[in-house]
Chains A and B, each alone.
Chain A
Amino acid sequence: MGRDDRTSVRLRRRLVTAVVLLAVVSPVLRDRDSFPLSTYPMYASTRPDVVAFPTVVGREADGRRVRLSLQAIARTDDALIGQARVDQAIDEGRAGALCADVAGRVPEAVTRIEVVTERHDVVHLVGGHGSLVDRAVHATCEPTG
């Protein structure tokens, strides 16, 4: 390989390095998260101690609340995905459709299903103390399973 070839190869590698690095930092410059180029915003926001959680719960005949699993709610094992699906359904006015979808996957003892947003004091909740601040019900339905 001659000197000119080596120089052109180096130049090309320098250019590729610059383009790749620019691409990697570009989401921050554009303030836009994507994949695989990202601003890496996970846990970046400040988090208050009282937080709203969209979720789906079951009720037994005596009114007792039953927490449903991620698999029952959103057919996933990832809490982030599960939360996003419930959140999306509520935001897009599809809470009833989500309720009907979950209705086929709940335990036998459940007689009613509710799509809700619950606001909790998360520090109290993790400490095992009363944490529910308020609660909004978006849709209700009965099990179909």
Chain B
Amino acid sequence: MTGRDLALGVRIDSWLFEPAPAERLAVLRILVGAFSVTYLAVRLPVFLALAERQGQLDPVGLLWWLAEPLSSGLVVAWVIAMLVVGVAFTAGVAPRASGPCFAVGVALAATYRSSWGQVLWLENLMVLQLLIVAFSANADAWAASRRTERPPTEPSAAYGWPVRLAALVTVATYVLAGVTKLRVGGLDWMLGDTLRNHIAYSAARLELFGEASSPLSRSVVQLGSWLRPFAVLAVLIELAAPVALVGGRLRTTWTVLAWTMHAAIAALLFVVFPFPLAGVAFACFYRLEHLPGSVRRLPAQLRSLGRGGTPTNPIGGPASW
């Protein structure tokens, strides 16, 4: 092993194990937990409909062993229980039990939903981040279980490492999506009319199923070969995800571009990736312990803006994030 390898190893270690305050991981728990509970509540009819589901079960992932559909009562009880446990996890109640139960329960519910012949890709990252956060020391701050006064905990890698692991996993999923496009579609994906045809295909599919398609898709499809630069950009955004780990402006620029890509997909294809669109997928790239203070300062910042002042630090500021 050369000196350069050792230096790289030390740099990776110091990034991965950078001590962080307990608040950073706690805020990530609250964001990912609150999002997951809200998602389950909003999609409750879809998850409850799994109880009545008939047809060919094609189990995937953690449920590969399942031979028969689950009983209706079990599915309903499971989904309702997840909502209750999810609220406890988000609030930091009984974290050693609520966290793992909620994360594994949501992973199983989402896996069951994808076990009917069509794997869905809308919930993968939410489940992966939830599993990471839930199995870490996420409730040493901002938790109902810590109502009694205790001295604040020292910054520790125990709080920083899970957040960094969530960031690594998030970046990996985007890179994989870019690699798969190049592996399956080849350069044609970027240089041909694939993006135009995907937009047209999604609109056509909705219309053939008697549903409304995006009013924007008709105009955008007419752009034809002018869409090719956007196809190149989409793949570049996915492959460039590791720059988000660098921090600072590079990270924020990539986050804005990735979010814009998801917004465009939602507007043109009517396919919503809720976790990144809500911004929660990207939260792990930031020093989240500053978020509560930034939210508290926001009204004053907005008032200052209204009086013609300069927004000094609307979301905590680049230095602190």
Contact = CB atoms under 8 A, between A and B. Distances in A.
Q: Do A and B bind each other?
A: yes
Interface of A: 10, 13-14, 16-17, 20-21, 24-25, 27-28, 33-49, 51, 53, 55, 67-70, 72-73, 75-85, 88, 92, 118, 120, 122-123, 125-128, 131
B169 A21 contact: yes
A1 to B, nearest CB: 10
B121 A125 contact: no
Contacts of A25: 172, 176
Given A24-B128, A47-B198, A79-B209, A36 B184 contact: no
Contacts of B149: none
B110 A35 contact: yes
Nearest to A82: B209
A45 B180 CA distance: 9
Contacts of A13: 16-17, 157, 161
B208 A53 contact: yes
B192 to A, nearest CB: 6
Contacts of B116: 81, 84-85
B117 A84 contact: yes
Contacts of A131: 204
B186 A33 contact: no
Contact of A81 (B118, B172, B179): B118
A28 B179 contact: yes
Contacts of A122: 197, 200-201, 203-204
A contacts with B: majority SS: mixed
B contacts with A: majority SS: helix
B198 A88 contact: no
B213 A126 contact: yes
Interface in B196-217: 196-211, 213, 217
Contacts of A67: 207-210
8 contacts: A13-B157, A27-B176, A40-B180, A46-B192, A46-B194, A47-B197, A78-B46, A125-B200
Contact of B210 (A24, A69, A81): A69
7 smallest CB-CB distances across A and B, nearest first, come from A84-B118, A67-B210, A40-B177, A47-B197, A122-B200, A122-B204, A44-B184
Contacts of A34: 60-61, 119
Contacts of B186: 46
Contacts of B124: 35-38, 40
- The interface centre, meaning the residue of B61, B121, B179, B207 with most chain A CB atoms within 10 A of its CB, is B121
A88 B117 contact: yes
Contact of A41 (B61, B172, B180, B217): B180
Nearest to A75: B49
Given A40-B124, A67-B209, A79-B209, 16 more contacts: A10-B157, A24-B173, A25-B172, A35-B120, A35-B127, A37-B61, A44-B183, A46-B186, A76-B46, A76-B49, A79-B206, A83-B205, A85-B116, A120-B204, A122-B200, A127-B218
A123 B196 contact: yes
